Structure 1
Amino acid sequence: MNPPRPWVKCLRAKYLKNSEFMRVERKASSFWIWQGILKSRLSISQGRCFLVGTGENNRTWVDPWVPNLSSFLPQPRGRLHRLNSALMVSHFVNASSRPWNVILLNNTFDNSLVDSILQIYIPRPGVDNKEEWTPDSKGDFTVKSAYRQISSERSSSLSIGPPIDWKKLWGLYMHERSKLLLWKVA
């Protein structure tokens, strides 16, 4: 992974002093670039999932950690309510032997969800949780993979007519303003 650029360090120092990116509150006085970055969180959250390490910093009902689920968030069994919003994933792991506590999982989640959770590998003690970007095969977040995910979501929800071959549009011999207008209309 590349080291952060100076502008990233500046934004982190100014806006993420003691907070995480996905949990920081948006302020009206924030720089417009930062406000734009914060607007991207919804799209980012749809593709992020934690790989369970210790499980100590993963909140069971808030942080996405079950990779086989579409939302990556587990739901409690039946009418069991989320009584403890601060319940950590580590609560479901046997501290001594490191496998999942199957009895506790069965009491909390439906059988199909328990099967999905049991497929999650728990590494040796001391391995931290790792955040993974699921749209990328390597698990790394890139602007390219985020753009592809957002584009596929938009195209599936907005597909009115046949797909447009953008390379042909940009290659047409016509005024650039007209090309831009066609692109914006589409």
Structure 2
Amino acid sequence: MTRQFWWGQANKERKLAWLSWKKLCMPKDRGGLGFRDLKLFNIALLAKQGWRLQTNTSSLFCRVFRAKYFPLGSFVDVYLGRNPSYAWRSLMVAQGVVQNGRRWQVGDGGNIRVWCDKWVPRSSTYMVVTPKKPNSQVALFKDLINIEAFEWDVGLVKQCFNAEDASAILGIPLSLTGRRNRLICGTNNSGKFSVKSAYALAYKERLEQNREIAQTPQCANGCEDVFSS
């Protein structure tokens, strides 16, 4: 309907479409016209509700879904499960968007997972790039803190991470007032998770999936070439 309106189609008269629908839905900064892909927009709306499950934990909405589907974890870490409701199945479609968009704003450190959570102030990944050493006892954020003085254990940080990671970590100010960690949106300057930011994440996710498919070796009949190696 949007395409027909844009190209002036009326009374079942077919008019020439000068651009494909895929091109129309591309963002303007990529050469498109910025039309909303309705499927991605629906995923963005669902991601907004998934974000509420992560941040507004006292709401009735969160308490009901947490009790039924993830009593011991969080929305971004659970699986679909058995016999899910239509609502839960729909929310899980947007799980990847919420996972990719969130990062931690460090307060008291708490139980942030050092090696798999996004918490380092680096706009590319927000994660440490140093590989975890096999015998490392560091797992949580609090393991890097001198609890008595409530300051970074500088020697331990430099021992566990490369120079780039260590510099970024030691530059994070620790909250002396006990301010708790806060989940924020890493793709938005304000830190707020919006439908607009979720749509951008969903679109980026689709581009990456299409790129991976395009790079997958295929044989003549369209199946994956599993013998290419």
1:47: Cα distance to partner?
A: 2.0
How has the CA–CA distance of structure 1 residues 82 and 127 changed in structure 2, closer, same or farther, with 3 Å as cutoff? farther
Aligned pairs, number: 157
| C-alpha RMSD of matched pairs (Å) | 3.0
Trace 1:12-91 onto structure 2 (pairs within 5 A). 12-68=66-122, 70-76=124-130, 80-81=133-134, 83-84=136-137, 87-91=139-143
Matched AA of 2:84: S
1:155: Cα distance to partner?
A: 5.2
Match of 1:151 in 2: 203
Give the gaps of 5 or more residues in structure 2: 1-51, 212-229
Match of 2:170 in 1: 118
Match of 2:151 in 1: 99
The answer to whether the Cα contact below 8 Å between 1:133 and 1:141 also exists between their aligned partners in 2 is yes
Match of 1:166 in 2: none
Matched AA of 2:199: Y
SS at match of 1:128: coil
Give runs of ≥4 in structure 1 deviating > 4 Å.
Answer: 1-9, 155-159
- The whole-number CA distance in structure 2 between the counterparts of 1:157 and 1:17 is 31
How has the CA–CA distance of structure 1 residues 129 and 8 changed in structure 2, closer, same or farther, with 3 Å as cutoff? closer
SS at match of 1:46: helix
State the structure with more CA Rg.
Answer: 2
Q: TM-score, normalised by structure 2?
A: 0.57
Q: TM-score, normalised by structure 1?
A: 0.69
Once structures 1 and 2 are overlaid, which stretch shifts more, 27-36 or 148-157? 148-157
Match of 1:173 in 2: none
The answer to whether the Cα contact below 8 Å between 1:66 and 1:72 also exists between their aligned partners in 2 is yes
How has the CA–CA distance of structure 1 residues 97 and 39 changed in structure 2, closer, same or farther, with 3 Å as cutoff? same
Give the gaps of 5 or more residues in structure 1: 160-186
Matched AA of 2:78: V
